[in-house]
Structure 1
Amino acid sequence: MGDSSPWLRPEAKTLKDRGFHHQGGHTVGVGQSYSTLSWVPDESQHWALPLRHERITSFETALTKATFQLKQVCRHLPVRPLAAFDRHYGNGIFLNHTAGIEVDLLLRLASNRCVYGIPLAYSGRGAPRKHGHKFKLNAPNTYPEASEILEIEDTQLGQVRVTRWSQFHFRNSAKREMEILRVEIIQPKGKRRKFKPLWLAWTGECMPSLERLWRRYLQRFSIEHWYRFAKQRLYWTTPQLTSNEATERWSTLIGMISWQLWFARSDCMDTPLPWQSPQQVLSPGRVAQAFPSIIAAIGTPAQAPKTRGKSPGRKQGQSQPPRTRYPTVKKRVSKRRKAKIVSKTAA
């Protein structure tokens, strides 16, 4: 599972390589952004264990960074994985970047996205067509005939209908065919619960069953919970560090702490607070809450600190030069220049 999250530092003018990043919705903040590729265990939806958690520089985007991370991880895996991404990655640019990687992709699509079917046979005149039927997700009159429809009863959501359309592609990635899925909650459990249709796109070698595939995307939300856990419980974005090397090193330690909590989950005893209910399967927060008992049992190999007395401080009249201040990086979308058409008039 992959996603990105900002580390906002609006007042850190001496921190190099800050930029403008989306904080959520239409809110934009100043800081740095990190891309995370994590592994979500099948038996629990509470855990998301980061495999790579790295800073997105001003020369990169979230799409190029996620592509690089997929290349680094997939080359060490014995089986072909399934990676799920949010709708920010559901476009032809990301599909073109990941064309040579041994990975199956499950992408969320924006509700106003357009995809295209297989073009008609070549008529013999002009250039061959690249696109066929235009499938606009928010226009029901453009829906083609479905390839498969599945209706199941979910214990938590209610009656679910999954519809599949085959052999579609984005306009700028005609060579990568996708399976389009629409997940609808027909009869939700609860009177006031309303769900919008969920649009997904799958591309890869061997497609899982519809009943399993849409549930696999629901596990992607575990990485959202991990970001909240890392910021609120592990204090990922709390230190006011002044160098990129320190921020990257601290971010790497946050990933290692998450793995340490995962390995210690079976050795921890649940210690709920008076207002908390006990848990059979411990979440990351409960393991972190019970982890001091493990530290007290195993001890620490570090020696006790020794007092050094009072520091002499700076000499009288000595002052430190001001630190270098860096401007905020503004990324601009490169647009191709349109060729000017000069009309020839008769003399």
Structure 2
Amino acid sequence: MIKPKTVKVSLPDDAACIESLSVLSGFRADFYDCLTSRGDALFELTDALLCADGPVKSLVDPTLTAEHRRGHGALYDGLNRGRFDVDRLRVSLAGLPVPRTGDGRIVLAVDVSPWLRSDAPTSAERLFCHVYGRAKSASQFIPGWPYSFVVALESGRTSWTSILDAIRLGPADDTTAVTADQLRSVVERLITAGHWADGDPDILIVMDAGYDVTRLAYVLADLPLEVLGRIRSDRVLRLPKPARTPGTNGRPPKHGPEFALAKPATWPESAHTTTTETGRYGTATARSWDRVHPRLTHRTCWLDHDGELPVIEGTLIRLKFDHLPGDRHPDPVWLWSSATGATAPDIDRWWRSYLRRFDLEHTFRLFKQTLGWTRPKTRTPEAADRWTWIVVAAHTQLRLARPLVEDLRRPWEKPAAPGRLTPARVRRGFRNIRPATTLPAGAPKPGKPGPGRPPGSKNRRPATRYDVGKTVKRDLTMAYHQDRRG
């Protein structure tokens, strides 16, 4: 095996680089302490993932690097039998520097990315994952493990995000309830770490379509945050109820007139209209309406709600661009924010923050195409969780090493501006700064491989096969709930 050549790079001795190296070394030490079993094997696997040349195409590829001093058996043993203190790792991630916008606000994004396992009938807890563009641009449902990620977004065009949490959605999980608990835990950890205090701007959470944004706004109303999400263009919302005139008899209305997103005739005069010239999309026109809310019913996540359903008012935004790259004419985007009484600068800040949500797609692409997140053919979901957290820890170290790495560009690549290296190019130079960081993993002990299965013997214990999809249903029917409320 030809060992890769290591280039000795002298790190700058300025205060910023010394601080970055200290933060990186501290996180590496904390990450090693989170590995409560098979820690040396899992830590060296993470280093090998960071120092491998090119994309990871199989699970054993990192074992061929010089940073992985153990055999491939230790790798499988660590993934299958190792143990993580995940709660401690989450606290460590929340304690790292968090990116902020120009006004000092923290912007979080939440999204689900699937680890597709259509060829793994012996793997438990698989769900049907909604996937786009795999068959003539049509959507499909493919078995796999969906993971929900929460990241902190940076301002401006970038491919970097700060991952704060990851959780696998199981067959018995309610997506809205799990997302609400996940966001609550992340925000509480950020507050405990001192990233938010009284008087600071509220934390903004952005999400794409597919989430019940009004339900999340209702459940998380006690936290200092705003919820912004895209809604479908065929929704029908409600305007605020009109003022009651004197002498009117009967029960006062709870909702105002309908606001059909697909019917401009139902749109009243907008509260604010802003136009912004952009470099990639032409003129961006945003119209907003205040105190627009959906009409809730006792269905889906509101089925178990006792008493009268609330009226959750917010700000509705219609965002329209002139064109997309490639001279495509986009459809308007509808956004809903949990905040009311917004000003024109708030509208611009919201839709710009929503566009930054797509930086998370760059992170998913790096995970799958470069770091090999979905490459292993692990059988158990517990092993998949361990590998996912290894990839998260590797990505975090790349982010912390960004100010320290020198650009080792290929001859055909354009030079990158200072501080503008992509995660893949930072990974290219991570091997050179690794010796200057903390190396807590111990040397491997001498040993020899086990005998394995005797030749000619057959496996008389076939693996259990599992069904795909949700396995838990509601104990009570909708008719029972309606009778109980009536």
TM-score range for the pair, normalised by the shorter chain length: 0.7 to 0.9
Q: Equivalent pairs: percent with the same residue?
A: 29
> Could you say if the C-alpha distance between residues 236 and 305 of structure 1 is closer, same or farther in structure 2, counting changes exceeding 3 Å?
same
Q: Is the counterpart of residue 289 in structure 1 residue 428 in structure 2?
A: yes
CA contact (8 A) 2:127 2:170 kept: no
Q: Is the counterpart of residue 234 in structure 1 residue 371 in structure 2?
A: yes
Q: Which of the numbers 1, 14, 21 marks the counterpart of 2:129?
A: 21
2:395 maps to 258
Q: Secondary structure at the match of 1:170?
A: coil
Q: Quote the Cα distance in structure 1 between the aligned partners of 2:140 and 2:471.
A: 16
1:148 maps to 272
CA contact (8 A) 1:35 1:65 kept: no
CA contact (8 A) 2:287 2:318 kept: yes
Report the TM-score when normalising by structure 1: 0.87
Kindly state the Cα deviation for residue 200 of structure 1 after the two structures are TM-superposed: 0.8
Structure 1 or 2: more strand by fraction:
1
> Could you say if the C-alpha distance between residues 310 and 8 of structure 1 is closer, same or farther in structure 2, counting changes exceeding 3 Å?
closer
Q: Is the counterpart of residue 105 in structure 1 residue 105 in structure 2?
A: no
CA contact (8 A) 1:54 1:251 kept: no
2:316 maps to 180
Q: Is the counterpart of residue 118 in structure 1 residue 243 in structure 2?
A: no
Give 1:48-197 correspondences, 5 Å limit.
48-76=161-189, 77=191, 78=196, 79=200, 80-121=202-243, 123-126=248-251, 128-172=252-296, 174-186=310-322, 188=323, 192-197=327-332
Q: Which of the numbers 109, 117, 123 marks the counterpart of 1:9?
A: 117
Kindly state the Cα deviation for residue 295 of structure 1 after the two structures are TM-superposed: 2.9
The letter for the 2-side match of 1:75 is E
CA contact (8 A) 1:91 1:170 kept: no
CA contact (8 A) 1:2 1:83 kept: yes
Q: Quote the Cα distance in structure 2 between the aligned partners of 1:329 and 1:199.
A: 31
> Which deviates the most, 16-25 or 201-210?
201-210
Higher relative contact order (CA 8 A, sep 6+): 2
CA contact (8 A) 2:324 2:330 kept: no
The letter for the 2-side match of 1:103 is L
Kindly state the Cα deviation for residue 236 of structure 1 after the two structures are TM-superposed: 0.8
Q: Is the counterpart of residue 199 in structure 1 residue 334 in structure 2?
A: yes
CA contact (8 A) 2:291 2:340 kept: no
Instruction: Name the Cα RMSD after superposition.
Output: 2.8
The letter for the 1-side match of 2:155 is D
Q: Quote the Cα distance in structure 2 between the aligned partners of 1:110 and 1:189.
A: 20
Q: Quote the Cα distance in structure 1 between the aligned partners of 2:276 and 2:147.
A: 37
> Could you say if the C-alpha distance between residues 235 and 209 of structure 1 is closer, same or farther in structure 2, counting changes exceeding 3 Å?
same
Give deviations 1:10-48, integer Å, cap 9, x for gaps: 122222111211112521100111101100122553111
The letter for the 1-side match of 2:219 is H
Q: Quote the Cα distance in structure 2 between the aligned partners of 1:190 and 1:3.
A: 24
Kindly state the Cα deviation for residue 192 of structure 1 after the two structures are TM-superposed: 2.4
CA contact (8 A) 1:131 1:174 kept: no
CA contact (8 A) 1:67 1:98 kept: yes
> Could you say if the C-alpha distance between residues 234 and 120 of structure 1 is closer, same or farther in structure 2, counting changes exceeding 3 Å?
same
Kindly state the Cα deviation for residue 262 of structure 1 after the two structures are TM-superposed: 0.6
Give deviations 1:67-111, integer Å, cap 9, x for gaps: 111110112321431000001115544434333433201111111
Q: Quote the Cα distance in structure 2 between the aligned partners of 1:209 and 1:182.
A: 14
Kindly state the Cα deviation for residue 303 of structure 1 after the two structures are TM-superposed: 5.7
> Could you say if the C-alpha distance between residues 256 and 210 of structure 1 is closer, same or farther in structure 2, counting changes exceeding 3 Å?
same
> Which deviates the most, 289-298 or 312-321?
312-321
Kindly state the Cα deviation for residue 309 of structure 1 after the two structures are TM-superposed: 4.1
* Structure 2: gaps of 5 or more residues: 1-108, 133-137, 297-308
1:345 maps to none
1:271 maps to 408
> Could you say if the C-alpha distance between residues 136 and 314 of structure 1 is closer, same or farther in structure 2, counting changes exceeding 3 Å?
same
- Tell me the number of residue pairs that the alignment of Structure 1 and Structure 2 aligns: 338
1:216 maps to 353
CA contact (8 A) 1:183 1:199 kept: yes
The letter for the 2-side match of 1:278 is P
1:336 maps to 478
Q: Secondary structure at the match of 1:104?
A: strand
Give deviations 1:197-226, integer Å, cap 9, x for gaps: 111111137845223221111100011111
The letter for the 2-side match of 1:198 is V
CA contact (8 A) 1:112 1:138 kept: yes
